[in-house]
Structure formats: structure tokens, C-alpha cells
A and B are shown apart, each in its own frame.
Chain A
């Protein structure tokens, strides 16, 4: 049981929760995630830890409502409890002074990116952040990113804020400069990570991506999260979540992410119906 001590709605579908989890707050490192389960009949879902306060014993989770579990999570309020929460899981981000690093966050991907930006900055890197979103309303963590980076570039699909372009455009420009980045970290929707990796490939710039695949246990036991990296099968939960973007088979990963689409859609739909009924009562 973990108590929610703060809830903020960041955009229409994105929420930020501060949750009591003293041990996780102490142990967690950038790049790691937790799994949560809201009820006995619920589903275990992974969420990245986007920040932590070891003194207060709390962690910050940022999530977008995409299915039934995230919808139910968004229904919880300050003072409510998350029934089951376990972590920190995954191999932490490899942080050192690489020189200049470009961090690309697409949509909700800004949340897992934030602790990595902090870590890289603290290690002495020159950090450029590219944040992308469909529109201004969906952009999150702008101020925090600005405070933790040397430069912040914002792109929106509709041009409602920052540049009207995809994140790959400024990324390409940065790679074309004389002093191209020493490392790129890209986190966001699979298709964005795929194209970021394709953008940096011709420039031979190392690119780390953080994958969020389907998981049950998160400890290496089920193998549902497996992805093809180079010619090897890797488990996102224990070998990752971060991998060399130039080696990840994104098409296979996207197929696997859709394995239960039909079920998820009908469950989420049912969840809407259930909630409405509850409202009426």
C-alpha cells in the first residue's frame, strides 16, 4: 500500500502523482521504473520513476491515460492508496561525462527523460533537450527541463508552441554541426525513437532509447517484454530498459506492443461505461 501525497494534472490526459515509497526513493536511479497493480483483478503495468525525494520518502510518477489501468489510476486522489507498487526495476542509465549530449523527449517520454537529463547534467555534460508534443497543451515538464539543461528546443506538430516540426528536425541539425553530439538519448513513442535512431545513424552518433514494452512481473521471469537488439533477444525489464537505438528492431517491438490491442480497447471501453454508471449512483 502506497499513499498518494500529491496529484497534479499536467495536461488533458497526463497526470503527475507523488507517492510514498521510502525504500524506492532511496534506491532508485535514473532510468529505473516501478510496476503497479491497483486491485486483485487488475493488471500489472510499468511506469518510469520521473523523480524522487529520498528525504521525504516519495517518488514521482507521470503517466498518460491510455488504457483501463491508467484510467483507474487517474481516478485516484491525494490520500488514496495504490494497492501494490514494486521497484525500482531495470538497469539504471549509464551516466558519465560524455561531453555534449542531446536528450529527446516525445510526449509522455519527457517523464522518464527528466531524471536522465538531471543525471547527465550533474555528471558535467553539456545537455541539449528537445521536447516534442502534438500541441502546446500536451507539452510537459518544460520548466524543469529548462532548469536542468543548457539548451531547450521545443517542437509541436501543429506549431502551437515552439517550432512547428518533428523532433527529428532539430536533432538532424545538431548532428550536422561541426561539433556533433557525443550521445543522443531518445525517449518517447516507439515510432519517434525509431526515427530518432534513423536520424543519428548516418552521423554515427551513439543513440540510447528507453523501451516500454508489455511486462507481467518485471523481474525477468516472464519474457513478455523481450525485444530483438542486434541479433540477440533481450529482456527490457532486466537487460534494459535502455538499449542501443541503432540495434533495436522497432518494427518487431511495435508488433508485440499490439498483441493485446483488441482486449485493451474493449477493457478501456468497459471501464468508461463502468465509471459512468458509478457517477450516476
Chain B
């Protein structure tokens, strides 16, 4: 879809809304479906690929209202089924049509603490928006009601009001809960457990809180101010946060319970162990895991070359390997830091890409060059050990594999070379082995993921786990979903 300037989107929405006012209330389903899907206003692609500011600007009020009016308020609400934390989606959208935003955000917050985050980073097209009746009738999931954009709209509305409702906290129980990792899972558990009156301490390995929301997702997709506000909210609730604290190293997990008097522990340490391709040349200078590249840029602010001490590689031509959100983030970061050309290499086709559709669109608009059905074979270095080029192979789609996606099959003799000076590997993460290494009795599977039951309880009594350390690299909302389950179990366990 071609880029439409925000001004035009606002103008069109205003006109249409006027026009609809003349229609008889309530609108018929046909009227609703005929309202065009509202595009997300965004920074101009030619400007934004040179700055770190947020790309998506959020709906105009008229757009939010129109998009909300597209919802058919289905009795069976298939969207709720698609939401990992089961937000009452039709109800909050209805509140938007009534311009009762306070009610709308209240409904979301019954189930999700991080509305401003999830509205921005959830893969809605494979979750709540996938089964949407509007999308189904229009035979295009991208024309479903934009639930995520509406969620963001009301969450941002609340942030701008500056009177975020104080949560009610029950009287102190005298019980102590330790949370390992201040990412989406940990934040969710902290809030839910604290509300029951338990004392909560979060232990964070980094010097900053937010986990993947801070080190992984770039500023241009999720402003760090928003994450900071969520963490500040936890502090206001009385949650204690200890940064620079690596559970397993600074203090053993068992000591937290045995010696420090914690009654329960939640492990939400994330999936922090980057996978590499295991191909020739992967340790040349100029090859990075996406984790490293993004952590330098996001957490250490290396993109701000003038102020930050942490360096980031000076790249001219970059190859990014992978097709997920992290690959898109790395490719778009490279452009913003000054790369002249960024090639994204993915071995399946665009429809199999795990990235959010919006991120793929944005990456293309910004000038990332997509190479689908191609994959790296080896990385070629110069005499000094620096990356000089990448040799790739072409693929075609074969029979479906276990994941249901058609398996890419290599085309023999299809080798070709792209001259690059940087290669960023974004093919996923394995679970971090640190806690397992120092807590031998904790049962993990062969990928080092912690094994839990349906209540997110681990093999050790009183210890719960959730998020990527259990699921493998997944999403923010799935981590939150597990956090809610774990918090419920912990609150039950402490009764």
C-alpha cells in the first residue's frame, strides 16, 4: 500500500464521519463494513529512515471513531478467542464509539496491564484480528477491525490525561515474592501479585528495566518513555526493583527462598541466547547477532553517536538474515544509523514471514531490499578478517513441514554473491542457560526452556516461570498471558 500523509488521512476521516452522521442510527452491518479500514498515520518514509522517533503516530480522533464503528459487535466475539489475555474487545470498542475512552481503557485493563505496549507490538493479525468477522467478510485479514490501533488509541488517551487510575492494593500479607527479570512477564506478575498485598521485589540483570521492550524493540516502534511509565507505575504500587542483579550469579535462586525469606519466585528471564547459522565466516568482524546490534542501539543508545560511549559498527551495506520482527527491527535500525543499503534475506516467502504485517510494510517503505526464497550459504572475509560479501542460495517452496508452512528447498547451483560489510543474524534465540546452570534441580527441556505445568509451576515448589524462558522466543502478549496465569497460581499458593 502506498504511503498516505497523515493530513490526508485526517481530512478523509473527518469528511466521512460527517457523511455518516446523516445516516439513520444504528448503522446496519452493511454500512459498517463499507467504512474503509483506517490507515495508521505514519512519519514520511523518507524522513523517518533517518530518525529514531516513533514511526506510527496513532489514530486521529475521527479515525478511531470510524474504525470502532466498523466493529459488528458480534455476539460470539471471535476476537476474544484470539486474544491471549482475553480482553473484552467488542465492549471496549463499543465504548470508543460512545467516546467513553475512560470506560474503554478500563475494560482493557481488566485483562492487560500493558495496553500502550501491546497496542503497538502485538501481532494482531494472527491473534485477535485473525478471526474478525469484518476481515472474513472482506476476505482479507488486513481489512479486519484494527483492534490493536484502537487499543493504542485509548491507552495513549489515558497517558495524556495524566490521571491513571491508582490500583487498589489489599492489606499487607507479610508474604514476599521475588521476580526474576523485569520484562513483560515479570511486570505482569509483579502487578498482579502486589495487588493481593504481597511484598514484591523484581531482580533485573541489566541496569535498566523493561527487558526486551527496552533492549530489543527499537525506539521507533516503541518509545522507551512508555515502558518507563509502566515500570514507574509498578514502583508507585510499592514494587521494589533491584537492577544489576543476576539471579543465579549475584544470588542463587535457592538462596532467595532459603536464606532471604522469599515465599515464592517467578522466573521471567527471557530467551537471551542468540542463534547463529553455523555457516562459514560467521565470526568475521562485521557479523553480529541481532541481539547485540539492537542492544547496542536500543539499550546503550549507540545510535546517538554524539553522546553514547557504546560504539555501533559503521556499516555501508548490510545483510540481515531472518524474517521476524527482530529482523525488521535490525534492518530498519541499520538504515537509521546510516547504512546506504540494507538487504533482508529470508528463505521462505513473504506470507510465511513471522513479522507483523505493519513492520514488513514499514521496512519496505523505508527502503529495505527484500530477498525472499534466498538464504546465506557462507560469509566471505577479506585478508584482515572483515566481512566482504555474503554468498547466498536460492530456494523454492516444497511440501509443507511440521509447522504447516511449505518447506523451502534449495535450488542446486543457484549460488550468488552480494557485496556487504555487515551481516546481522536474526534467526531467533534459545533460552538463557544461566539459571539452569546454577539451579541444577530445575527441570528444563532439551532447548533449556523451563518446564512448567498448566499453572506455570516449575519442578520446584514455590517457583513459577513464564514468558520466553518457558515458551522459547515468543511475543510480549504471550509472555503477559503466562504472567497472569503464574500470578494467579502464586496468589493461590500463598493463601
Question: Which A positions have Cβ atoms within 8 angstroms of B?
Answer: 23-24, 27, 37, 41-44, 68-69, 83-89, 216-217, 219-224, 226-228, 233, 238, 249, 251-252, 255-256, 258-260, 262-264, 267
| Chain B residues with CB under 8 A of A267 | 309, 311
Closest 5 CB pairs of A and B: A255-B385, A221-B272, A222-B292, A263-B311, A43-B309
Would A220 and B309 count as touching, CB distance under 8 A?
Answer: no
| Chain B residues with CB under 8 A of A227 | 283
**11 intermolecular pairs with C-beta atoms under 8 Å apart:** A43-B300, A87-B249, A221-B215, A221-B272, A223-B291, A224-B292, A255-B285, A255-B384, A255-B386, A256-B385, A259-B285
- Distance of A133 from chain B, by nearest CB (Å): 29
Would B288 and A221 count as touching, CB distance under 8 A?
Answer: no
Interface size class for chain B?
35 or more
- Distance of B289 from chain A, by nearest CB (Å): 4
- Distance of A33 from chain B, by nearest CB (Å): 11
Residue from the list A68, A86, A223 in contact with B309, Cβ < 8 A: A68
How would residues 43 to 74 of chain B score, 1 for a CB under 8 Å from any chain A CB and 0 otherwise?
Answer: 00000000000000000000000000000000
Complex CA distance for A37 and B208, rounded to whole angstroms: 11
Given known contacts A37-B207, A224-B292, is B310 in contact with A219 (CB within 8 Å)?
no
Would A84 and B244 count as touching, CB distance under 8 A?
Answer: yes
- Distance of B469 from chain A, by nearest CB (Å): 12
Residue from the list A216, A219, A252, A260 in contact with B434, Cβ < 8 A: A219
Complex CA distance for A87 and B246, rounded to whole angstroms: 7
- Distance of A214 from chain B, by nearest CB (Å): 9
Complex CA distance for A15 and B386, rounded to whole angstroms: 34
Given known contacts A224-B288, A224-B292, is B249 in contact with A88 (CB within 8 Å)?
yes
Would B283 and A252 count as touching, CB distance under 8 A?
Answer: yes
| Chain A residues with CB under 8 A of B6 | none
Would B310 and A44 count as touching, CB distance under 8 A?
Answer: yes
- Distance of A271 from chain B, by nearest CB (Å): 9
Would B244 and A86 count as touching, CB distance under 8 A?
Answer: yes
- Distance of B296 from chain A, by nearest CB (Å): 6
How would residues 308 to 323 of chain B score, 1 for a CB under 8 Å from any chain A CB and 0 otherwise?
Answer: 1111011000000000
Complex CA distance for A87 and B249, rounded to whole angstroms: 7
Would A219 and B432 count as touching, CB distance under 8 A?
Answer: yes
Say yes or no: is B282 at the interface (Cβ < 8 Å to chain A): yes
Would A27 and B250 count as touching, CB distance under 8 A?
Answer: yes
| Chain A residues with CB under 8 A of B433 | 220, 238
Complex CA distance for A123 and B289, rounded to whole angstroms: 40
Complex CA distance for A251 and B384, rounded to whole angstroms: 10
| Chain A residues with CB under 8 A of B244 | 84-86
Complex CA distance for A44 and B308, rounded to whole angstroms: 11
| Chain A residues with CB under 8 A of B384 | 255
Complex CA distance for A238 and B249, rounded to whole angstroms: 11
With A238-B437, A267-B309 already in contact, 15 other A-B pairs whose C-beta atoms are closer than 8 Å: A24-B250, A43-B308, A43-B309, A87-B250, A89-B249, A216-B292, A216-B296, A216-B299, A216-B300, A220-B434, A224-B292, A252-B385, A255-B384, A256-B385, A263-B314
| Chain B residues with CB under 8 A of A262 | 314
Q: Tell me the residues in window 244-270 of chain B with beta carbons closer than 8 Å to chain A beta carbons.
A: 244-246, 249-252
Residue from the list A216, A220, A252 in contact with B432, Cβ < 8 A: A220
How would residues 200 to 221 of chain B score, 1 for a CB under 8 Å from any chain A CB and 0 otherwise?
Answer: 0000011100000001000000
- Distance of B218 from chain A, by nearest CB (Å): 16
Q: Tell me the residues in window 132-150 of chain B with beta carbons closer than 8 Å to chain A beta carbons.
A: none
Question: Which B positions have Cβ atoms within 8 angstroms of A?
Answer: 205-207, 215, 243-246, 249-252, 272-274, 276, 278, 282-286, 288-289, 291-292, 295-296, 299-301, 304, 307-311, 313-314, 384-386, 432-434, 437
| Chain B residues with CB under 8 A of A238 | 433-434, 437
- Distance of B316 from chain A, by nearest CB (Å): 14
Would B251 and A23 count as touching, CB distance under 8 A?
Answer: yes
Nearest A residue to B304 via CB reads A41
- Distance of A156 from chain B, by nearest CB (Å): 32
| Chain A residues with CB under 8 A of B314 | 262-263
Nearest A residue to B204 via CB reads A86
- Distance of A131 from chain B, by nearest CB (Å): 30
Would A223 and B385 count as touching, CB distance under 8 A?
Answer: no
Complex CA distance for A224 and B425, rounded to whole angstroms: 12
Residue from the list A89, A226, A251 in contact with B246, Cβ < 8 A: A89
Given known contacts A219-B205, A221-B273, A223-B291, is B251 in contact with A27 (CB within 8 Å)?
yes
- Distance of A225 from chain B, by nearest CB (Å): 9
| Chain A residues with CB under 8 A of B296 | 216, 222
| Chain A residues with CB under 8 A of B283 | 226-228, 233, 249, 252, 256
- Distance of A235 from chain B, by nearest CB (Å): 8
| Chain A residues with CB under 8 A of B251 | 23, 27
- Distance of A92 from chain B, by nearest CB (Å): 11
Complex CA distance for A256 and B387, rounded to whole angstroms: 11
- Of A223, A226, A251, A258, which is in contact with the most chain B CB atoms at under 10 Å from its CB? A223
Nearest A residue to B309 via CB reads A43
| Chain A residues with CB under 8 A of B252 | 27
| Chain B residues with CB under 8 A of A44 | 207, 300, 310
- Distance of A66 from chain B, by nearest CB (Å): 13
| Chain B residues with CB under 8 A of A43 | 300, 308-311
Would B207 and A217 count as touching, CB distance under 8 A?
Answer: no
Complex CA distance for A24 and B251, rounded to whole angstroms: 8
| Chain A residues with CB under 8 A of B313 | 259-260
Nearest A residue to B248 via CB reads A219
Nearest A residue to B305 via CB reads A263
Complex CA distance for A134 and B309, rounded to whole angstroms: 30
Complex CA distance for A256 and B386, rounded to whole angstroms: 9
Nearest A residue to B381 via CB reads A255
| Chain B residues with CB under 8 A of A88 | 249-250
Complex CA distance for A223 and B292, rounded to whole angstroms: 7
Complex CA distance for A241 and B285, rounded to whole angstroms: 20
- Of B205, B249, B274, B286, which is in contact with the most chain A CB atoms at under 10 Å from its CB? B249
Nearest B residue to A264 via CB reads B311
Complex CA distance for A262 and B385, rounded to whole angstroms: 16
- Distance of B161 from chain A, by nearest CB (Å): 29
Would A41 and B274 count as touching, CB distance under 8 A?
Answer: no
Nearest A residue to B286 via CB reads A259
Nearest B residue to A39 via CB reads B309
| Chain B residues with CB under 8 A of A37 | 207
| Chain A residues with CB under 8 A of B286 | 259
Complex CA distance for A25 and B286, rounded to whole angstroms: 37
Nearest A residue to B245 via CB reads A86
Would A222 and B274 count as touching, CB distance under 8 A?
Answer: yes
- Distance of A171 from chain B, by nearest CB (Å): 28
Would B285 and A42 count as touching, CB distance under 8 A?
Answer: no
- Distance of A54 from chain B, by nearest CB (Å): 14
Nearest B residue to A68 via CB reads B309
Complex CA distance for A227 and B282, rounded to whole angstroms: 10
Complex CA distance for A89 and B384, rounded to whole angstroms: 31
